[in-house]
Homo-oligomer: A and B are copies of this chain.
Amino acid sequence: MAGLVSFFNPKSVAIIGASKAAGKIGNVIVKNMISSGYTGPIFPINPKEQEIEGLACYPAVDKTPMPAELAVLSLPASRTLDAAQQCGISGVKNLVVITAGFKETGKEGLELERRLVETCRKYEMRMTGPNCVGLIDTHTPINASFAAGFPLKGEIAFISQSGAMVLSILDWSYRAGLGFSKFVSLGNKADLTESHFIEDAGQDPNTKVILCYIEDVENGAHFLEAARTASRKKPVIILKSGTSQAGAQAASSHTGALAGSDLAYETAFRQCGVIRARSMAELFDLAVAFASQPVPSGGRVAVVTNSGGPGIIAADTIEQKKLQMARFTQETIEQLRGNLPRESNIYNPVDVLGDAKADRFRFSLDKALSDPGVDSALVLVCPTAVTEPVETARALVEMRAAHPEKPLLAAYMGGEKLAEGVKVLEEAKIPCFTFPEPAVSSISGLTGYARTRELPANEQDLSYECSNLKNVKAILYDVRKDKRLVLLGSEAAEVVEAYGIPAAPTTLAASPGEAAESAGRLGYPVVLKIASPEILHKSDVGGVLIGLDSPERVRAGFLEIMNNVHRYLPNAAVYGVEVQKMMPKGTELIIGMSKDIQFGPLIAFGLGGIYVNLLKDVSFRLASGLNRGEIENMLAETKAYTLLRGYRGEKPADIEAIIGIIGRVARLVTDFPEITEMDINPVFAYNQGACALDVKITVS
């Protein structure tokens, strides 16, 4: 798609369901279009009216003097389908369907929505909604919505799955002095989704920051692509709700959204560079910071304060947010020492003392911002008897201009006494908070984005390929033919070996003689395991014997296992016994895959063995776009990594071998999407190499 420019800047707009009655949505939209200053022709459509709000009214969309490029539909759901069809016939390009009464109301509504989309497809129209508040662009300008008001002009695009939130934020934004480039209410996302609008906002020259509120993602692959591309150009900040079980239930009773698991969203956001806001306040704090401040080159923060306590609170928050308190150069320290009173703290946080006037703030801030060891600065002002709130604010404005490459934020801790100073900062677009903590949070968001921008583009730079694709296909063919969902251990081992993952040699034996023969070939000692897709917990039914070191013991073992299993599970389908070479013990890891409904395969890595579920030392990445750097991060997030690097004097494990297995698993599950679940537990990691001991693969 070339973009949604014609949605936000159409040549002409029809309002179907336009009304003369004040307060009716069909009237509010006409008024909004007029008052927005939109310069193209506006065609109210209503067969019963001649004129609405001073504009000529037309009986139908095909009766307008020129075709409408955009049609805004606000009529009962039952009449929407016909109206859309008329639009299609008369050459309308884009629809904004305000009308509710579709998917969100149940089965009938869902069917109506499906037919609405069909109509759009038929006439090659694109649609926003249904069940939405509409669209606003302050730069066109256009207000194709029933929101009560028009936002201040600015550089933030706000895309929201909740219409009411659009209304809330619009009303709130006046007080906060926050300007927007666009407002988009997504509604039911029947055609256009968050991904389309993120793409569009990414390309929009008037948009500097992309803000989203979403409850789910409509198409995982599209979202990843859109967010990845946009976030390299400008920050994409998302508040995703429905993270809790309770929230997900509320979400489904709301728009019928099937929420993917939060883990997958968390991973997806991280991998495509989205900044995740944890609260509504943080969403907008970050928007303000990004709209006004440069992205710092690192996380070293200088704090200048006229009071010790708030300085300590800032330092605490800086550490919590994984930023660093900047260490000044000797030169900076000398200059501060030479020019501040003796009792001042000249190290970071710089305490200019309660009797500081604006000059001390200006001087200290200038020195801090000039220091090469400082990436951003935070100023804390408490209202003492001599504080000069306005002069100090002006000093900040001056310093912001003198050091344009470093973010500057402030906390003016008080009320009336500081209000005038706060106004000065707001006008100069220096983010100002009442307390230090959210200011530090905002710096943390800015800093995180510096890393995002440098993320490599989506290159699957893992060149792991299958050396024997035919073999894998043949195995999966047999499994399907047998109507099985689970591969035998020997099959699974073959599959991973085809991808270059070293597995303990495993052979399926149908008789005691075959077992002994296999064991001889593999080399003693061996492990015997019952081979049955129906038996998950093999040990529990006497289906495993270890350390068998002679042909005799293997033959006897085969019979013993068969007897045990027949006794416990007389009806289980048994394929024989698997003979596996017994491997030396290594560090036990788990490498696995589960599938997310939106984002596809999710690769897991962590401490393996029987305590996997207890210790939960596991990190995750989407297979989509997984690259070497991400695999390394994935390892580093776990405690297992500490073990692998050589804990308490043990030899380090072969990290390369592990990275290889993770990459190969990602490749395997991408090549074969019918694999729905996979577990290698344990993988033994050795000083040289690694080995998959037990491979479970489930297919659909």
Contact = CB atoms under 8 A, between A and B. Distances in A.
Interface of A: 23, 25, 28, 104-105, 146, 148, 160-165, 167-168, 171-176, 213, 215, 239, 241-247, 249-251, 253-255, 279-281, 306-313, 315-320, 324-325, 343, 345, 347, 349, 351, 354, 382-386, 413-418, 434-438, 610-611, 614-615, 639, 642-643, 647-648
A319 B249 CA distance: 12
Contacts of A615: 615, 639
B415 A171 contact: yes
A312 B249 CA distance: 8
B245 A164 contact: no
A617 to B, nearest CB: 8
A345 to B, nearest CB: 5
The copy count of this chain in the complex is 2
B172 A414 contact: yes
A434 B648 contact: no
8 cross-chain pairs, A with B, having the tightest CB-CB distances, nearest first = A162-B309, A164-B307, A244-B319, A254-B308, A171-B414, A247-B316, A164-B382, A175-B415
Nearest to A303: B250
A77 B457 CA distance: 64
A311 B165 CA distance: 11
A45 B464 CA distance: 86
A164 B281 contact: no
Contacts of A148: 383, 385, 417
A123 B250 CA distance: 67
A695 B306 CA distance: 51
Contacts of A241: 309, 312-313, 316
A167 B382 contact: yes
Contacts of A146: 385
A279 B434 CA distance: 12
Q: Would you call the interface of chain A mostly helix, strand, loop, or mixed?
A: helix
B250 A163 contact: no
20 contacts: A160-B309, A162-B307, A164-B384, A167-B384, A175-B415, A176-B415, A213-B309, A241-B309, A243-B319, A243-B320, A246-B324, A247-B319, A249-B325, A250-B308, A250-B311, A250-B349, A254-B309, A279-B317, A281-B434, A610-B648
A144 to B, nearest CB: 16
Nearest to A639: B614
Contacts of A164: 306-310, 354, 382, 384
Nearest to A280: B435
A385 B23 contact: yes
Q: Which of A168, A175, A347, A647 has the largest count of B CB atoms less than 10 A from its CB?
A: A168
B437 A281 contact: yes
Contacts of A246: 315-316, 318-319, 324-325
Given A164-B310, A610-B648, 4 more contacts: A23-B386, A162-B309, A247-B319, A280-B313
